[in-house]
Amino acid sequence: MQTMLVTGGAGFIGANFVRLMCQARTDTRVTVLDKLTYAGNRANLAGLDIDFVEGDIADPAAVEPLVAAADAVVHFAAESHNDNSLRDPSPFVYTNLVGTFTLLEACRKHDTRFHHVSTDEVFGDLEIGADTKFSEHTAYAPSSPYSATKAGSDHLVRAWVRSFGVRATISNCSNNYGPYQHIEKFIPRQITNILTGQPAKLYGTGAQVRDWIHVDDHNSAVLAILERGRLGETYNIGASKPGDAHVTNKQVIETICELMGGEYVHVADRPGHDQRYTMDATKLRRELGWQPQHTDLRSGLEQTIAWYTDNRWWWEDDKEGIERGYAERGQ
């Protein structure tokens, strides 16, 4: 039986990936390493036959034995919220840079396959209304402490591949949505606002564009890259294809409000709000034959709304405190 270490496996994307592995790769034993910070939740893994270790990816004593026992490491763990990085960048430097370094050193020592999960935000942003997309050759231009530390971690992986022969791949993905996403994130915040009798909150004008992808499609791409991707390569992941219309944040909120019978209000924009992200996933589609399954955003939002409606126990206790924090910032 193969063994896999999934860092950040109790978080949103990581937990959904662990669920995919348990369903699709029953010959692989999964160990999750997660620090259980605000975005990590042990309940995300309820009912799964896995091994769970609470620990810090920047702690060599925690990382070393787990990597030594693994055939592959899939690295989701990261501090990942832009707003939080603007208030205190230090955890982002520690986790995203020192943590990735610690994992790479362990993988170098034990010759363990490594896949690094990253973000489209390392590229900066694109002009609204243009037809440009981020490709694997787009120069990095991060605009926040979060995206800067993720860019740095990407470069660490590339350097360890070239300098030390670490068997690694990188993926950069667009904005995810789906079940188990923390309710301070854009889509679940709007859904849970309406479920609690509040209006949805649109930052600024809502003209910003995101290349939304369902978390299950992201994770099927990660698995394809892990199993069939060329070592040392980077693959962009995104659900849009040529000719697709750009979807603004305003349109997303309007769709959610239409589906739920809610209303929205405008609130203060986020500092340094990137304008548009659009990914060119041609390389992934051509080389590995990957295709997204959730191609209709409206349908995906309906499914996501249903999940948050049916699982109020998962988020309701945290809602009041999170909204209080946003209110203090005029959002």
In a domain, 29, yes or no: yes
For residue 263, give the nearest of 331, 197, 309 by alpha carbon.
197
Amino acid 216 reads: D
Query: Can you tell me the distance from the alpha carbon of 83 to that of 85, in angstroms, rounded to the nearest whole number?
Result: 5
Q: Is residue 318 part of a domain?
A: no
At 68-97, the pLDDT tens digits run: 999 999 999 998 877 777 788 999 999 999
Residue 171 maps to a domain: yes
Looking at residue 272, what is its pLDDT? Answer: 67
Across 168-183, average pLDDT: 97
Look at residue 72 and tell me if it is in a domain. Answer: yes
Q: What are phi and psi of 115, to 5 degrees?
A: -120, 130
* pLDDT range class, residue 269, cuts 50, 70, 90: confident
Give the residue, 222 or 39, on which the prediction is more confident.
222
Q: Does residue 261 fall inside a structural domain?
A: no
Structure tokens belonging to residue 194: 């309406």
In-domain check, residue 66: yes
Q: Which of 34, 79, 125, 146 is catalytic?
A: 146
Work out how many domains the chain is built from and give that number: 1
Residues 6+ apart with CB under 8 A from 103: 7, 57, 63, 67, 73, 75, 114
Domain of 226, in residue numbers: 2-176+211-237
Burial class (CB in 10 A: 0-12, 13-18, 19+), 48: middle
Asked if 79 is an active-site residue, the reply is no
Average pLDDT over residues 193-202: 96
Q: What is the dihedral of CA 18, 20, 21, 26, to 10 degrees?
A: 130
Pairing outcome for strands 264-267 and 28-34 = unpaired
Output the domain CATH number for residue 9: 3.40.50.720
Task: Work out the percent of the chain whose per-residue pLDDT is above 70.
Answer: 99
In a domain, 186, yes or no: no
Check if 310 is active-site: no
* 105 classed as catalytic: no
Catalytic residue, chosen from 34, 56, 79, 121, is 121
Helix/strand/coil percent split, the chain, to 5: 45, 15, 40
Q: Which of 79, 120, 211, 216 is catalytic?
A: 120
Average of pLDDT values for 220-227? 98
**pLDDT digits over 236-261, tens only?**
999 987 777 789 999 999 999 999 99
